[in-house]
Amino acid sequence: MRIEILVFDGVDELDVLGPYEAWSLAAGQSDLEVVLVGLDGPAEITGNHGLQFKAPEGLGVPNAVLVPGGGWLTRAEQGAWAEARRGVLPARLAELAPELDWIGSVCTGSMLLAEAGLLKGRPATTNHSAWPELEAFGVELKKNRVVDDGTVVTSGGITAGLDLALHIVERKISPDVADQVADSLEYTRIRDVHVS
């Protein structure tokens, strides 16, 4: 299973790096592969807090895509809010989603899924400060850390991305591997998951 984490300037670093590390650890015990990708090809990214890193590839047609957030709540000039206003990223997600096993989000990455029309009428969550905005998209708001609606998996703010990543490991590989990854991270799992 190939998971592509879609990154862009202004992205919240922990939204990206938490799931990336968890899935990288799980990859040693499964066929899971995780890679950072830019929307329009390989990219050099500057995160919301100034961390600079590279996405070595562009968005392809993987088994799954994870969309992080960052910059939505502050209406930053770079980040999820800016990407929503630009419109290219939500349009690409809308086009790609039917080909995926699942599409997911961390924090306000769910606002990009909502902008793409992927959450209307479905249960989902986001950063607690953006709950009213998410509901305005016609989403059935759930206040859990992770909401699994089969082909769409969303998580709350920032650290909830670790819970999403571990939930996916449990769902796609095994509970034992998910627990082993959590132990390696020295992370106590918060099993606040709504499954539809």
When pLDDT is cut at 50, 70 and 90, the band that residue 185 belongs to is very high
User: What is the set of active-site residues?
Assistant: 107
Q: How many CA atoms lie within 13 A of 153 on its CB side?
A: 28
| Whole-angstrom distance, CA of residue 58 vs CA of residue 36 | 8
Instruction: Give this prediction's pTM.
Output: 0.97
Which tokens belong to 150?
A: 């089969």
Instruction: Look up the CATH superfamily of 2-195.
Output: Class I glutamine amidotransferase (GATase) domain (3.40.50.880)
Beta bridge partners of 43: 55
Residue-level pLDDT at 29: 87
| Whole-angstrom distance, CA of residue 54 vs CA of residue 82 | 20
Q: Residue ranges per domain, the chain?
A: 2-195
Residue-level pLDDT at 68: 98
Q: 152 and 65 in contact (C-beta within 8 Å)?
A: no
Phi, psi (deg, nearest 5) at residue 30? -160, -175
Report the pLDDT averaged over residues 82-93. Answer: 98
pLDDT digits (tens, 9 = 90+) for 156-184: 999 999 999 999 999 999 999 999 999 99
With H, G, I as helix, E, B as strand and everything else as coil, classify residue 185.
helix
Q: At what angle do helices 160-172 and 175-185 cross, to 10 degrees?
A: 150
Nearest to residue 33, comparing CAs of 57, 8, 10, 9?
Answer: 57
